[in-house]
Amino acid sequence: MNKVELEELLNKMTLDEKVGQLVQVIGSNFLDEGNDITTGPLSDLGISEQMLYNVGSLLNVAGAENIRKIQEKYLSKNRLKIPLLFMADVINGFKLVFPIPIAQGCSWNTKVLRKCAKISAKEANLSGINVNFSPMVDLVRDARWGRVMESAGGEDVYLGKLYAKAVVEEYQKDDISKEGNLAACVKHFAAYGAVESGREYNTVDISKREFLQNYLPAYRAAIDSNCEMVMTSFNILNGLPATINKTLLNDILRKQLKFEGVVISDYGAIEETIKHGAVKDMKEATLKAIMAGVDIDMMSRAYVNNLKDLCLEDKQVEQKVNESVFRVLNLKNKLGLFENPYGNISYEKESRYIMCSQNLEKAKELTQETFVLLKNKNNILPLDKNKKIALIGPYADNKEITGSWTIYSTNEQNKTIKDIMEKTLPKENLLYAKGSEVLEKSQINSILEAWGKEKLPILENEKQQKEKLIKEAVDVSKKSDIILLAVGEHYLQSGEACSRSNIDLPSIQKDLINELEKLNKPIVMILFNGRPLSIGDIQNKVDAILDVWMPGTMGAEAIIDTIFGKSNPSGKLVMSFPQDSGQCPIYYNEYSTGRPHTYNFRYLSRYQDIPTKSLYPFGYGLSYCNFKYKNLKLDKNKINQNDTITVTLEVENQSNYEGEEVIQLYIQDLFGNVVRPIKELKAFQKVHFKANETKTIEFKIDIEMLKFYNYNLEYIAEEGEFKVFVGGNSEDVLEEKFLYGKN
């Protein structure tokens, strides 16, 4: 359809039909033929059966057969034959699950994110999905917040922009109607990653300059890449919930960022503005949301029960409704649904493409690039297959390694470390004992209760069972040369609604590690996690740490290839690991204080009980190679507004392994109109090195790298003195100074 035809369709619609287009409900209501709408889940929303066949979009239902069945049923009862939109959360994979987004970010390789997105989008699209609630581009600095797992850019602005652009472009490409493409929904607008105390759904209170400088850029990058949809966040910003925040959604999103697509609320967010205390009832919530610019109400009673009456009372509201409905119709048109309401559904292609062997092999390669080697004392890794290895730990034979956003896939298809090692090692060289559960039963039951899941039975001899598992692990380990220890947090401890005040390794696993340490045998720790963990009390008890995050479907295969040297780890952290939970939030690009902690003196910005710096800093990650940085040089010591400085250095691989290194460039503005960060990432290169190879690396510094928002919120580069740092992480760097002047 062209614009005129869409406007004609809009003019034919009744007010009920218009309101319906702005309502989103769960798609499972259409699948149950015996579903009684008066007693089913939609009755709580006040949705009648007649209105059900006016709703514009469905949430989290997929599968070619299901989608075709629902669309046929819907169109048979929809007067104007306006097709449904099918939206879903495909966060780190559809059926084939990739590493969680924070792990993908640790690849420091946009190609990794693009390839993961490409396969996920095609799987989902062949199964009937039109819109994906991804990518999440929130800046995250507090590891206590469970949703840091969804942020590929982590704590860095520059990476956040790159990754947002890459994922949106890969989902949508040049035409969202083509097979394998999805409309991207960027979330959460805005600044959701700054929730106080790292507590889910909590308050956000940051300055306007902080918002513009650090939190807005990734959203801007996604919008500049033509993302089709934006999701509002649950939090307040400047005292107003984002979902009714006209300044945020109209002035910033629509006018400043020039976003022309669809705005959707997060799940139930419009209704929740009442609990915030920002509105007195559902009618006021509806009015403020539609006038602020929220086009689609996801799973609340607001629009469906109040929007029609508001339109009849006020022509301005009706005009806003017309604008919103047109945007929804336009998105459906871009997806080609008016010509083909079933989109790119294909039973044959769905069965042939999803989980195909070619994609599984590609997933293994991509997964390997996300692992971060945190420690490798005496180069104990890679392991020798001729050594006798004791495989110990709750993740040694555990399939639950895909993360908490695995909606359309099952863990049953996954292999475990034990499965792969049994095929890799001679039988006599592999010993196994579980050692411990992931969590105490009481801890997991607390989580299950909050999730509405059935609790596990707690046995009278629970303590004896725990001691038995540890003893078995110790006995097995005594017979080995090396202990391979697979530990980590439970997959339900990270993700949405998974905030933790203490991000230590679970105590039941610490007890196991303490007993194994007494054996004085080398211990290699494989760490499974959805966030940076506080492992300061553990790191000295093991010889090596390989952080594999929640690695997805091909995680076990990728781990085995890495620990035995078939693959060389190259990942670097995108979030700092704290010394202790009490350091959170902690991030590399902090502001310097007037009393920085440079030595042990009482009246400095420090902790009494732990170091000030992170345990493992942003950008950190080891390799089986040993990279040495040297000879940092600038071709000039001053830059003007039309010029660049060329930075060169040599990086030497002092090892017999080939591998990749992420070479990072940071800049510090030494004296600014406002206090500036101690350093900021401005460029990086991921470079492949042959064994014992030395390469000359070159960067360009230009004026754009020096710009910031000053006290008056002007985005400028300020004349003065700067430092440039280059290194393998944010702390171990070479440095030089240069000047910027307009002439």
Whole-model pTM?
A: 0.97
Residue 30 binned pLDDT confidence (cut-offs 50, 70, 90)? confident
Say what the pLDDT of residue 38 is: 45
Residue 35 binned pLDDT confidence (cut-offs 50, 70, 90)? low
**Burial level of 601, CB count in 10 A (0-12/13-18/19+)?**
exposed
Among 172, 74, 86, 186, which residue's Cα sits nearest to residue 130? 86
What is the per-residue pLDDT across 391-428, written as a single tens digit (0 to 9) for each?
A: 999 999 999 999 999 999 988 889 999 999 999 999 99
Residue 588, CB-side half-sphere exposure with 13 Å CA sphere? 26
Cβ atoms of residues 545 and 374 within 8 Å: yes
Indicate the DSSP class of residue 339: T
Among 527, 538, 532, 611, which residue's Cα sits nearest to residue 577? 532
Diameter of the chain measured on Cα atoms: 80
Say what the pLDDT of residue 28 is: 76
Active site residue 266: yes
Token look-up 């001691």 returns 467
What is the per-residue pLDDT across 116-175, written as a single tens digit (0 to 9) for each?
A: 999 999 999 999 999 999 999 999 999 999 999 999 999 999 999 999 999 999 999 999
Say what the pLDDT of residue 44 is: 73
Please state, in angstroms and rounded to a whole number, the distance separating the CA atoms of residues 344 and 334. Answer: 13
Asked if residue 309 has pLDDT above 80, the reply is yes
Cβ atoms of residues 705 and 628 within 8 Å: no
- Given the residues 266, 297, 547, 669, the one annotated as active site: 266
Indicate the DSSP class of residue 521: -
What is the per-residue pLDDT across 266-293, written as a single tens digit (0 to 9) for each?
A: 999 999 999 999 999 999 999 999 999 9
Specify the 3-state DSSP secondary structure of 91.
Answer: coil
Average confidence score pLDDT of the chain: 96
**Structural domains of the chain, with CATH:** 368-583 (3.40.50.1700), 627-740 (2.60.40.10)
CA 68 to centroid of chain Cα atoms: 31
Among 499, 576, 620, 529, which residue's Cα sits nearest to residue 155? 576
Say what the pLDDT of residue 34 is: 52
Sheet holding 645-653, edge to edge: 627-634, 645-653, 694-701
Asked if residue 254 has pLDDT above 90, the reply is yes
Among 561, 563, 552, 559, which residue's Cα sits nearest to residue 413? 552
**The length of the chain, given as a count of residues:** 743
Among 381, 319, 279, 346, which residue's Cα sits nearest to residue 122? 346
